Amino acid sequence: MSEWIYFFDLWGTAVFALTGALAAGHHRMDPFGVLVLAGVTAVGGGSIRDALLGTTPVFWLQDPTYILIVLATVIATIIFNRTSPNAPWYVLPIADALGLALFTIIGTEKALSLGLSSISAVIMGVLTGVGGGIIRDVLCRQVPMVLRTEIYATASIVGGIAYCICLSTALDHFTSMCIAMLSAFGIRLAAIKWHLSLPAFDLKR
């Protein structure tokens, strides 16, 4: 089971590094800027999670594979951009949705493995899923997606809850992870396609 979690974690790192690199490209950053934005997007949420859980040094300091994944993703993105046409507009939001789903379940699982309650685990999952994207958007001087009316954090919350519910049944860990990730990913894709959003809070004067 731990091998699957590690695989999903590395895959999520690559996906979020890709979203950071693409965002840097949209803002015409230099290669170092691309690396920084990809790095904070990929490991930002997990770093905050580990700091709150007290599991230090944080994961990417213990295992340099994560840094190598980020570096490889950045290099591949830069090379691909120079040799191929610009990526379609939907690549970034879809990649971000996949990273959100992957990291949500990874964060939830890590919190559960430390003996935290399901509520706390879901919170840690959401933080892992949205943390890197928040840092990325702030550095790009944009309002983070999690703070917009468009459904984003809600998809992460549903994924975390689905994972905890699946684990409480007879389903095994791998099946539970797949169901939960598909739940979060599907909700986020639906929000992107049909522009689903929560009602905005309008302060009455």
pLDDT(113) > 90: yes
Number of CB atoms found within 10 A of residue 19's CB: 27
Mean pLDDT within 106-128: 97
pLDDT at 73: 97
Amino acid at 55: T
Please state the domain count of the chain. Answer: 1
Q: Does pLDDT of 195 surpass 90?
A: no
In angstroms, the Cα distances linking 191 to 73, 103, 121 are 27, 19, 24
Q: Is 81 inside any structural domain?
A: yes
pLDDT value for 62: 95
Asked whether residue 199 is domain-assigned, the answer is no
CB atoms within 10 A of CB 14: 20
pLDDT tens across 126-177, in order? 999 999 999 999 999 998 988 876 799 999 999 999 999 999 998 999 999 9
> Does residue 200 lie in a domain region?
no
Give me the pLDDT at residue 187, please: 97
- pLDDT digits 0-9 by tens, 25-73: 999 999 999 999 999 999 999 999 999 999 999 999 999 999 999 999 9
In a domain, 202, yes or no: no
Give the range of the structural domain holding residue 114, as residue numbers without chain letter.
Answer: 2-194
Nearest alpha-carbon partner for 142 in 28, 31, 32, 23: 23
Has residue 12 been placed in a domain? yes
Q: Which residues contact 190 (CB under 8 A, 6 or more apart)?
A: 151, 196
Specify the higher pLDDT residue, 169 or 205. 169
- 49 lies in some domain: yes
- What value does the mean pLDDT take over residues 182-189? 97
Contact 154, 197 (CB under 8 A): no
